[in-house]
Amino acid sequence: MGKKDRKARFERKTKETEVAVKLDLDSSGYEISTPVPFFNHMLETFAKHSGIGLKLKAKGDVEVDEHHLVEDVAISVGKALKEALGDKRGIERFGHAILPMDESVAICGVDVSGRGVFRFEGEVRGEIKGFKGENFIHFFDTFAREAGINVYLEIKGFNLHHKMEAGFKAFAVALKDAVKVSGEDLRSTKGSLD
């Protein structure tokens, strides 16, 4: 067993945004507050279905664009996840999900490899009340890089809300399995997941 206390806190303050995160891999429950309601909906969905405890408070210059806020939340939650995972001993490492939502479906695979790569297949053009599809992709790209995890995400469908929500749910379900502690072994022939 690696890190006993799989929790982390992270705070980040710049001239553009202010973000505070508390993350706990072994207890659920969430409190999410950002100035972008659809982003809150997605982060709550992520916390709910991953079973990861997440307290997040963020504010920023969304009057410019929601880009800075989305990016800085992804950096902060990604860094907190990386720290909470510790040396990753005993975790499942891999997780996957095929997640339907109405006419949409999302397919996600996660590898907590220590390398941060995001690959997206699909199309999420358009925006929902100040949350653009391009920032949905940017969120995952930034999160994967900062957390040091590989995320493959494929989305098909019609309704943008369903497509993005299915994407967050699929990621949550895949990550839930990947970070689960199931033994004592480090799942790597290399002997390291850093």
Residues near Mn ion (CB under 5 A) are 165
For residues 111 and 165, which CB has a smaller minimum distance to Mn ion in the complex?
A: 165
The number of CA neighbours under 13 Å toward the Cβ of 121 is: 9
- Structure tokens that stand for 131 in this block: 């949350």
For residues 141 and 165, which CB has a smaller minimum distance to Mn ion in the complex?
A: 165
For residues 28 and 40, which CB has a smaller minimum distance to Mn ion in the complex?
A: 40
Q: How far is the CB of 98 from Mn ion (least distance, A)?
A: 19
Residues forming beta bridges with residue 8, ordered by sequence position: 23
Q: How far is the CB of 161 from Mn ion (least distance, A)?
A: 6
For residues 71 and 165, which CB has a smaller minimum distance to Mn ion in the complex?
A: 165
Question: Of 20, 22, 30, 29, whose CA–CA distance to 5 is shortest?
Answer: 22
String of DSSP letters for 43-107: HHHHHHHHT-EEEEEEEE-TTT-SHHHHHHHHHHHHHHHHHHHTT-TTB--EEEEEEEETTEEEE
Q: How far is the CB of 57 from Mn ion (least distance, A)?
A: 22
DSSP state of 181: B
Q: How far is the CB of 42 from Mn ion (least distance, A)?
A: 8
